[in-house]
């Protein structure tokens, strides 16, 4: 079993920063960046769980749900990752999204 602790820590940190961010920051793109990350992580998890099936897109639940959406999507992905390289790539994606979000 692969250790996904670095990934879950990274997304929990990002989610905490989103929850603490002012509404103006969320409106300026932080929430949109988080939703894009959540959709990508959900797509990756679905590709592993249901290969060959068209992935469902995570809906936009609003800017105040963005932190919860990335948390759910990344924790779901963490359950299906099979090697350290996948974990490292996912951590990199989370950190890059957080940087672009500016939180």
DSSP string over 71-99: HHHHHHHHHH--SHHHHHHHHHHHHHHHH
Select from 10, 66, 5, 64 the least CA-distant residue to 37. Answer: 66
- The pTM assigned to this predicted structure is 0.94
| Res 18: pLDDT | 98
pLDDT at residue 1, rounded to an integer:
83
Below-50 pLDDT ranges, the chain: none
Closest CA to 74 of 45, 95, 47, 49: 45
pLDDT number for residue 95: 98
| pLDDT at 81 (0 to 100) | 96
Radius of gyration of the chain (CA): 13
Per-residue confidence (pLDDT) for residue 47, from 0 to 100: 95
């Amino acid at each position: 079993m692969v250790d996904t602790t670095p990934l879950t820590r990274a997304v929990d940190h990002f989610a905490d920063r989103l929850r603490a961010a002012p509404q103006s920051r969320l409106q300026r793109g932080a929430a949109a960046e988080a939703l894009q990350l959540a959709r990508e992580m959900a797509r990756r998890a679905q590709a592993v769980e249901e290969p060959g099936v068209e992935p469902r897109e995570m809906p936009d639940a609003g800017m105040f749900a963005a932190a919860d959406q990335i948390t759910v999507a990344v924790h779901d992905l963490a359950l299906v990752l099979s090697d350290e390289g996948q974990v490292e790539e996912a951590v990199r994606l989370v950190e890059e999204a957080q940087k672009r979000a500016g939180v």
